[in-house]
Amino acid sequence: MIVILLGAPGSGKGTQAAMIAETYGIPHISTGDIFRKNIKDGTELGRKAREYIDKGLLVPDEVTNGIVADRIAGKDCAEGFVLDGYPRTIDQALMLGSLLEKTGRRADIAIDIIVGDDDVIHRLSGRSMCKCGETYHVDYKKPRVEGICDKCGGELYVRDDDKPETVVRRLREYHEKTGPIIEYYRKSGILAGIDGTPRPAEVSKSIVEVLGAHGFVTGGE
Ligand SMILES: [Zn+2]
């Protein structure tokens, strides 16, 4: 099964993509994670991506398309995968369609996790991270000691793209570029909208129900 997850930054789509991957035993492909890893490792790709991400801009299509094409050609993607953070532009959506077509495949479902802008701004601008990978939030997941990681004692920091002015810019870009994608998948008949406002566990339940209605059962096939 090939699942595309759509949703604004901060909609919780990363969490839900990970849930789908685990529940159905397919790889979780996050372009954001791939970029962050390359940035951390100081690769050429990382340097290119960083210029855009730090400004809250989307990484250009030619960079992103190449990465996704490589990744979904992997053997572990033969039974399907869940895409998180891609496609983000209509050109990427068309590119993905033709990539899949080449191997006789198509996306089964595009899930749009819907959260209002005010909610997104609140969720993202309260977020902090640790080098060890833990994430915290001023309302939802406070560390025991302010500014210090519970797990490793490291100092917490706010990611550049979670700073309020960057969040607003990311949202504006998101709506501009993603609006046409949502329309495209709606016309293709594979769009499913999910309310992303409730707790993550509730959202997960709704997603599993929608996937079940499409004939996808949990526990691996
Ligand atoms: Zn830590």
- The count of domains in the chain is 1
Q: Walk along the chain (221 residues) in steps of 10 and give the mean pLDDT of each run.
A: 93 93 95 87 88 82 86 91 92 93 94 93 90 90 95 94 87 89 96 95 96 82 45
Whether 71 sits among the annotated catalytic residues: the reply is: no
Can you give the pLDDT at residue 184? Answer: 96
Whether 144 sits among the annotated catalytic residues: the reply is: no
Q: Is there a domain that residue 218 lies in?
A: no
Can you give the pLDDT at residue 218? Answer: 80
Is the CB of residue 91 less than 8 Å from the CB of residue 14?
A: no
Q: Is there a domain that residue 219 lies in?
A: no
Q: For residue 91, count other CB atoms closer than 10 A to its CB.
A: 16
Instruction: Tell me the whole-structure pTM to 2 decimals.
Output: 0.81
Can you give the pLDDT at residue 220? Answer: 47
d(CA 37, CA 14): 15
Tell me how far the alpha carbon of residue 129 lies from the centroid of ligand 1, in angstroms: 8
Choosing from 50, 105, 159, 186, the catalytic residue is 159
- The CATH number given to whatever domain includes residue 16 is 3.40.50.300
Structural domain boundaries enclosing 194 = 2-213
Q: Is there a domain that residue 86 lies in?
A: yes
